[in-house]
Structure 1
Amino acid sequence: MEALRPRTPARRRAGALAVVVTATLLAAGCSGSGSDAASDGAFETSEQRVPAGAVAGDELGAAAYDGAESPAGDVDRAAAEAAAREVITTGTATLVTEDPADAAARIATLTEQAGGRVERRQESRGSDTEPASARLTLRLPADRVNSTLEALRSLGDVADVSLTKEDVTATGRDLDARIAALETSTARLTELMAQAGDTEDLLRVEQELASRQGDLDALKAQRADLSDRVAMSTLEVWVTADEAAVAALAPPATGFRGGLEAGWDALAAFGRAAAVTVGAVLPWLAVAGVLALAWRAGAGLVRRARGTRPAVGTTPGDGA
């Protein structure tokens, strides 16, 4: 019955007001939930932006992230790679000193103190034409080569230094791989030899195992030699007392001392030249003396023969 009553203007306004209030509340609730959802989505996006870019393969974002977050890691990685490299260092040096024998003994002591060894040592006292000298082959730890070269400067004038470095990392890795493969193969052949059923199979496996073992031993020897050359560098040192080299390296003397040294050097040079000349002439003088003696002896024999010869047209009985 209430529904059939005609609506009055007051009841129409009240109903319209209720509809407006309900619609407003519903709109506010929807917008609030939508903004919360949007904010949640934005929060999740901001939290996951960098990892998602890195996982998805965004090169620019990944490079920027890595460069900003791990510079120390890159440095450590580069240092580890440099330390893993295998480098063979060889070098030569020339040392000019007044006493090569004493310098050679000191070099040997320096080498032993550095943890190395002297593989070869030759010394020459020298002569009138050749100065005294010494030659040493040193094996030094790779990290002590530079310090040893600096120590040589305290023994004389280092006239020449040459160092060569050869990277053999690839060769070492190749040898390691081949050794590992042969070790696996020999282990497998050893197992097969234990499981061989008849004598023929046993002999065939033994022959193959011996061949593989020989190859393995050869590769291990090559690897040991390579590792030794990497760990211990080779340095050839030539020690000389060459006066010309010493004079070229030392500052020239001046004044009275300089004139005295120049005159003495000239006199010594003249004496050496005179000695060389006399030494060259003496053999010829000896030969000339022998020829002169022979000629005189021959002439005397001829004169005696002429004095005892009889006169022409006479006989021995005529005189009697």
Structure 2
Amino acid sequence: MGRVGKGMKRIVFAALAVGALLLGGCSANDSAKPTSAEAPGAAPLRENAGGDAQTDQSKAMPPIDGVTATSGPVEGRALIYRGDITVRVEDVEIASGKVESIATKLGGHISSQKRVSGSRDAAASITMRVPSKSFDAAMTEIAGLGKEQSRGSNTEDVTEAIVDLDTRIAAQKASVDSVRKMFERAVALSDVVLLEKELSQRQAELASLEAKKRRLDDLVSLSTITISLAGPNTEIPVEKKRSPGFLGGLEAGWDAFVSSIQVILVVIGFMLPFLVAIAIPIVLYAWLARRKRRLAPAPPPNPGVPPLEG
């Protein structure tokens, strides 16, 4: 028993010694790490996390996939605004005049208009051009002329098309200038004729590109609004909405079938006068030929063949 007790005491003392050594090692490792007080550069870095530290890191990091960060404003897009609106009004003539006043007030103009006068079927179709920034204001004022029946609008981004045209115009101008310089230095008659033809062709291409650019600039600067004004009793056509899925396909097929029948009837109606004009002489000729055969005398009977004498 005495030996066993001494052995147990030795094991306990050894375990305590190992635990003390491990605890001392951990304390030494913790003391080796610098604290905020021992690391003077840590606190300023933490305080300037949103400033110089990030600036230095951004300078040190290379751009990813060639993309660099920019702090400038985003370049504006070139947008074309188009809209259409249908309004039922009490007096189409008065409302048309108000539409012209709205266009003038907003810095635009009326590009085209068509009116149908009448007490029951009075209507007007007007195309208005107003600055793009006044598009919403114009639509709101037009809707206030009466009872709005329908409205639609769409926006088209032509930024890439304009950039492409600008690039092509610049390249074409340089090409025209180059050919013009060669034309001015040409001496031989054959060279003059050839360069003159080439210069004319390139100038025509340049003029075409510039015309397209002016057209796009006009559409971007001035939005287009198509206005339909209807009188109190004018019937407004309603766009038919198709059902989705199988029913929609069935409706579309039926409409196509009806349209085909209508086209066939139209063709028959168109051809009928010609068919009648052709059929009358044919029928008359057949009737006369039949009558002639009926009135012709019957041929005499063929005489019998006499018997041969033996």
TM-score (normalised: structure 2) = 0.55
Shift of 1:233: 0.9
Q: Of the candidates 166, 190, 196, which is equivalent to residue 156 of structure 2?
A: 166
The separation in 2 between residues aligned to 1:168 and 1:149, in whole angstroms, is 22
Q: What is aligned with 1:146?
A: 136
Matched, 1:77 2:73: yes
Q: Is the deviation greater in 100-109 or in 190-199?
A: 190-199
The separation in 2 between residues aligned to 1:190 and 1:168, in whole angstroms, is 32
Contact 1:96-1:245 at 8 Å conserved across structures: no
Q: What is aligned with 2:59?
A: 55
Which stretches in structure 1 are left out of the alignment for 5+ residues? 1-38, 61-65, 247-320
Shift of 1:150: 1.6
Shift of 1:195: 1.4
Larger Rg belongs to: 1
Q: What is aligned with 2:85?
A: 93
Q: As a proportion of its length, which structure holds more helix?
A: 1
The separation in 2 between residues aligned to 1:89 and 1:237, in whole angstroms, is 14
Please give the per-residue CA displacement for 1:129-166, whole angstroms capped at 9, x wherever unaligned.
Answer: x5211111111111111111221233211221111101
Residues 224-243 of structure 1 mapped to structure 2, 5 A cutoff: 224-243=214-233
Distance 1:51 1:107, change over 3 A: closer
Shift of 1:52: 3.8
Matched, 1:221 2:211: yes
Which stretches in structure 2 are left out of the alignment for 5+ residues? 1-38, 237-310
Q: Please state whether the residue corresponding to 1:177 is helix, strand or coil.
A: helix
Q: What is aligned with 1:124?
A: 116
Q: What is aligned with 2:191?
A: 201
Shift of 1:220: 0.4
Please give the per-residue CA displacement for 1:230-262, whole angstroms capped at 9, x wherever unaligned.
Answer: 11111110111133889xxxxxxxxxxxxxxxx
Contact 2:122-2:234 at 8 Å conserved across structures: no
**AA of the residue aligned to 2:170:** A
**AA of the residue aligned to 1:212:** R
RMSD, aligned CA: 3.0
Contact 2:85-2:151 at 8 Å conserved across structures: yes
**AA of the residue aligned to 1:114:** L
**AA of the residue aligned to 1:197:** V
**AA of the residue aligned to 1:54:** S
The separation in 1 between residues aligned to 2:116 and 2:56, in whole angstroms, is 76
**AA of the residue aligned to 1:90:** R
Question: Alignment length, in residue pairs?
Answer: 189
Q: What is aligned with 1:102?
A: 94
Identity %: 25
TM-score (normalised: structure 1) = 0.53
Shift of 1:55: 2.2
